[in-house]
Structures are given as C-alpha cells and as structure tokens.
Amino acid sequence: MKPLSGLRVVDLADEKGELCGRLLADLGAEVIRLEPPGGAISRELPPFTPDGRTSLYFAVRNAGKRGGVVDLETEAGKERLHELLSQADLLIESTLPGTLERLGLAADALRERHPGLIVTSITDFGQDGPYAAYQGTNMVGVAMGGMLHRAGIAEKPPVMIPGNLAYDVAGIAGALGSLLAFWKRLQTGVGQQIDVSAMDATVGIADWSLPNYSLNPNLGHRAGTGIYTLYRCADGFIRMIILVPRHWRALKEWIGNPEEIADPKYDQFIQRLIELDKIVPVLERFFADKMKTEVAVEAQRRGIPATPLLRPDEVLENEHTRARGTFRKLPVAPGKPALVASGFFTIDGERAGPESGPPELGELGEGGFTESAARREMQALLERAPRPPTGGQPLAGLRVIDCGVGAVGVEMGRCFADYGADVIKIESSDLPDFIRVILSSYMNPSFLSSNRSKRSFGVDLRTEKGRALVHRLVQTADVFIENNGTGTMEKFGLGAEQLRELNPRIVGFSSQSVGSYGPWKNWIGYGPNTHPVSGLQHLWNHPEDEESPAGSTAVHPDHLVGRLGAMAALAGLILRERSGRGSHHDAAQFETPIGLMADIFAQESLAPGSVHPAGNASSRGAPWSCLPCDGDDEWCVVNVRSDAEWQQLRKAIGDPQWTHDPALDTAEGRIARRAHIDGQLAVWTSERDPRSVMETLQEAGVPAGIVAHPAHHLSDPQLVHRGYPKLVVQPDYEALMLEGPSFLGSDLPEVVTEPAPRLGQHTREIASELLGLSKAEIEALIEEKVIEDPPEEFKIL
C-alpha cells in the first residue's frame, strides 16, 4: 500500500503548482483534477506531441489523476465543488488572490463549510503583500527567485533553466506544506490554509544566497560552469568536481603525475581554482582520445566524482536509466504512448510514480471519490481524538537522526527542525560534513543555514562503540536521513534493512547522486554532477551555443531533493500512523531534474532529435526575454502571453513608433520578429533600473520581474512582508540573514530559527539524557575518542 492511499484531493491548480497533486497521487492519494468546461490553461502549454494536439506539459503533471469538469462561475458548478469537498481532505488551487473570494469560495468560507479541509493555495507571490496582484509566469518566478541571475556566461544575458522550475518547485512546496498541515490535522482535527509563493519557494533553493551575501556582500558575475569545470573528451564533455585532497591525488596518479601540476600548492582547492587555466589543458590533453562515458566510469572506479555530459537521447537510452526504470511508457493521450519519467522516489524498493496517463477532459462525469479499505483506514485515523502538539509546532515530539552531508540530507533535516522536531546531527571532527569544513573552519553561512535549530552529537561511526551508540538513538527515533555514498551506511550498520531491524517503526530516507541501484550505483558526486548526467547541463543554454555548454554554478537539485525527502518522510509517518510500521524512501538525485523536465524528455521520445536548448525564448509568445537594465549586471524579464498584453506593453512604454508595425499585432508576427522586439525593448529597459521596469509593466498588467540576486532579496518588499528573511545571531560567529519557509500556514506557527550547533555541542547532553550514560561513562568514551566535545582548534584532514 502506498503511504497516502485513502487520502482524497480535489485539484484546481492550473499551470502553476500542478506537480503538487501529481506528487500526492504518486504517493497513493486519489486526486480529482477539476477543469473548466473549455479545459485547463495547461492543456494549451508547450511542449506538444508531434501533431501539436496534446500538451505534454499537462500530461506529465496530471498523470495518475482522475478528471472532472466544473464551472465555478455558476451556482451548479459551485455546488458540484462543494459535493466533492464534502468527501475530500485537501483542496489545491492556484487562482490569483481574491478570485475565490469573489466567487464566494474563499478559503475561510470553504473550511467553515467543510471542517478539517486543508486548502493549499499556490500563487506566484503569495496571498497578500505588494506583489500579490502581480502577473506571473514561470520565467518571472525563476528570475524573482534568484535562479536566473547566475545562469549562463557573462557575455550574454542570463539563461533560463529548461523546464518550469519555479512552478514545479512551488508544487513541491505545496505538497510538503499540504502533508505538514495534514499531519497537524491528525493532531488537532483542524484544517488550515497553506499559502505557497513560487517566489519564496525558488529563493529557498538558490544555494544559501541570503546567508552568504549577508556575510560577504559580493555578487560576482555569471561564469557558466564556473568552478564545476567541464573537460572536453573525444565525443563530448565530462564534469569532474575535485574538492578534497584525496580526489586530486587520485586524479594526478591516473594521468601519470605530469610535471605541470606536480607542485604541492595544487593540493589546495583554492590554489587550483586560481590557476584553473593552467590545469584544464593538462587534463583535456589526457582525455582527448577517450570517450566521455568511459572516462567517467574509470574516474569513478578511482573514486573521483565525474559524470558524462549526456544529450536528451542519451539520457533516455543508457545502461543506467534503463536498469533503474527511470522512464516508463505511459499514454500522454488516448493511443499516444511516450516515455515518461517514472517518479521521484522508490518506497521499500518499489517505484512511487504515475501508473496511468492524464485524465481526459470530464472523464469522471458526475462521479466522485471511490470507496476502499484504504479510505476507511484513513477515515478512522481522522476520527481519532485530537492530540494537540506542544507549542503548536506540528513536528514537536518527533526525533530525527540526521546523517546527511552537503545539502540534500541536511536540508531535509532542516525542514523537520523548522517545525519543532528534535533533529540530531551525527558527525565527528574526523568524518565531518564537508560543507561544515569547506572554508577551513567549523562554521560558515551555508552550513549554518541548513543546520540551524539542530543538535550535534559528536561520535565516530568507525568505532564499534560509536556505532552502538547511534544504533541506540535509532531505536527510539522516528526518522533517519542519509545521503552518503552507496553502501556507506551499511558499513555502519545503518542501511535500510539494518534500520528496520533496529526499529521497525522508523521512516528512513536515502539519496545518492545517481541512485542506490543500477550499473552506476557506486558513483559519487555533488549536486552539479547531476547536471550533465541528467541532460540538464546540455539543455541549460542559448540555442546558438549548443556545442559550448553553459549552465550554472548552482548546486541544484540538492536543496530541492531535501524538500522532496521531507515530503516523502511525512507521507511515511502518515502511513505509520495507520500501519504501525516504518518504511524506507529513496531518491536518486539525478532523477529530480529528469522529473522536472519530464515533458521535454517525453517530446524527445516521440520525436527523436527534436529537443535542443531553448534559451530564454518560448513558443507561448514574444517578447519572452531577459533584457538589460541600468546598473552593473542588472536585468529584468518581460513576457507577453497574448495580443492584449502586447497592447498593454505598448502603452506602458509610451507606444513608440517601432511598435506600430501591424505584423507585431499577432503572436505569430511577434515570434517571427523576436530578435527585433528584444533589441528595441532593450533600449527602453536599459535606461531604467529593474524595479522600475517591473513596476511600470506590472501596473499595466504585463508579466515582468527583476532578475533578482541576494542584494535584492535582503530588502525585497514582498519577501519582507511575508517575513521571509530570518535573522540568526550565531554565537562566536556572525549575525546572518537566513532563508525562511516556502509557505505559510494559517495554523502554523513561526518556523523555529535557532543557531546551528558547534560540532559536538550536544554530545554530553544527548549521551546523558537520551542514552542514559553516567558522567564517568561519558568521560571514558571521550577519552577513547568514541565521542567528542567541540574541538578547540580546526583539524586539517
């Protein structure tokens, strides 16, 4: 049984956040997708099947749902909605703030009529605040969320990430917020409204930009692949990320210890970074006659994080994705099968993904939700006597063992700590989280952000006694998190099966770079290693530069996988409430960008060779552009979706003569003259700062946004209105601004925002209070170097 079997969802989300309902359906929920009589907007969104009749955007984000039609402008339509809500647990909607209120369907009114209902509202900027009424698009969300500014090369405009990142990230945030609200409903019997902002959700995955900028206000410029170098091989490129000394030594040995890079100074990452222009030619000379995948395989055999840069067709058909079942055939419309990404997770070894295609318009007729044993179990759970959580925090009373490193696991742990869970970070000065020590100290802004509000247990898992102590912690824990190399946790007696033996009720989550099974399962890597192997690197570019990969220095998808992990673990906890049993959830990091580009890969499977980098352009309309503004590397985005918006744009910029060309009055004409429009419009934008451009065009009803960076975010009026930036005073360090939550809740308190722990800060406390050790026993274990207090000096490894 899937963890959310028996959960009932009514889904009104259209274009933005549609992945929310898809994810809940993947996890077992019954989701009814309601559309207006003419069909959803997203049925008209690219990409399309080769005949142009079926939207793959709609298909992949609505796979596994059932479909109905409702006209909310009519009383009959409203009553039909109420009929379904009377049987449902959750409503997802994405209308512009105020729309449902105008229809007499405001969230408060819905929850009054349907007690216990959770209403998840997914919008571009949130339910209120200075931007609430702004027009949004996915591109505006990516730009305002800070994921556009660093993408591409300095010589060209910032380049859009392929897919629909902002709206899909908002969907993931919506699913996480929905399950958090549902978990609290199980405690209180009370529903609530979850208010998701696509902007907030996107800022949250922008690589710790707020805390790092608040310590060091230096923006830098776009650098393409930057420090995550791509090396040319005989048939393409590989990415190697050489951060730690052992990887550098292994690389030198492999290529024969050439004299040019023999100087010991290159053992230090910062020195290699400074002299990268001297190192790259040496390595490319060695790789020049070798095939990219063969190079990656040999590098990985030597313990070096390397991945080949794959094109979309190579992603669809390689030994690893085939063995993992990364794609499966599903109908994207009746009689039209395509290869569709098979889901973001496995649960206890089984894929959790769509098992059917998208619904046909109105296929449900007057039907409703189905009756099942799973629904009866869920109903019994909902009818339990309330048990309100201490202090209102929904996750208070849960204990999480966090063996995460870098970003994935630790970000997942942070999601639990934000809402009151006791999160215990397992670490030692000999085996530290590499993000903790990356700046040659035990504290830095990135580590602080992801590890706030946790406790640190300094313990050496290489020792038998250390492992025994952690095993005892696992026996009374609720959640276990890890994202180490495949097989690492098994060596410590903490693999999925071993966890189940220690604690049959524990909910586990594991994530490896390319997954824990398949021919490449032992490959190691960091977030940027997933860009080449998932196809993201190839597609994240301007179309004219297809053979010169650009991309971004972002560690995406690390932060996002952490949020997916938190969502999956909450689903596992909900299942445990019914079954009494735990479960283990697994996510391969490279499959997250694949899942976010599922419609693009479906297109490639239907029309091989059709998918190429699109840059900033869209077939939806023109202008669809990133344009220069007044200031140092300041940019804005402008999107026109309709002829009406084009007329509004003309008026807003003063109706200059060049806009009078009749050919520009239609979308087809504007798309054909895209470059001309961009050049003319850039003259206007370059004389204005990006905020002025955004405000002028938004006042006219034209989607536009700042290409935001952390200097904008620190004082952005919408983020400040929503309480997004969080101040933390870190003892013996600095006061920094940290990222806030991706969503707000009408019955969720402020997120817990406390300092990050020093390494081993809570070792004695945990040993005494949770493990019941005496002072003498604790001292003996410290003397034996099994556990440790905070180090007095930084240890160079």
For residue 309, count CB atoms less than 10 angstroms from its CB and return exposed for 0-12, middle for 13-18, buried for 19 or more.
Answer: buried
Best CA proximity match to 78, nearest among 48, 59, 116, 105:
105
**Is the separation of the CB atoms in 236 and 308 below 8 Å?**
yes
Three-state DSSP state, 248: helix
Residue 348 Rama label (left phi>0; alpha psi -120 to 50; beta): left
Give the chain's end-to-end CA distance (angstroms, integer).
Answer: 46
Tokens for 607, please give them. 């029309």
**Is the separation of the CB atoms in 3 and 574 below 8 Å?**
yes
Segment (H or E) for 612: none
Tokens for 643, please give them. 């002829």
Which residues are annotated as catalytic? 558
Question: How far apart are the C-alpha atoms of 503 and 73, rounded to whole Å?
Answer: 52
Tokens for 35, please give them. 């559309």
Buried b (16+ CB within 10 A) or exposed e, 507-545: bbbbbbbbbbbbebbbbbbbbbbbbbbbbbbbbbbbeeb
Tokens for 33, please give them. 């997708």
Three-state DSSP state, 288: coil
The strand pairing partners of 237, in sequence order, are 232
> β-strand 743-745 against 193-197: which pairing, if any?
antiparallel
Question: How far apart are the C-alpha atoms of 342 and 561, rounded to whole Å?
Answer: 16
Residues 124/128/129/131 CA torsion (nearest 10 deg): 30
> β-strand 66-69 against 90-93: which pairing, if any?
unpaired
Question: How far apart are the C-alpha atoms of 426 and 433, rounded to whole Å?
Answer: 9
Largest CA distance in the chain: 87
What is the CA angle 489-490-494, rounded to 5? Answer: 60
Residue 517 Rama label (left phi>0; alpha psi -120 to 50; beta): beta
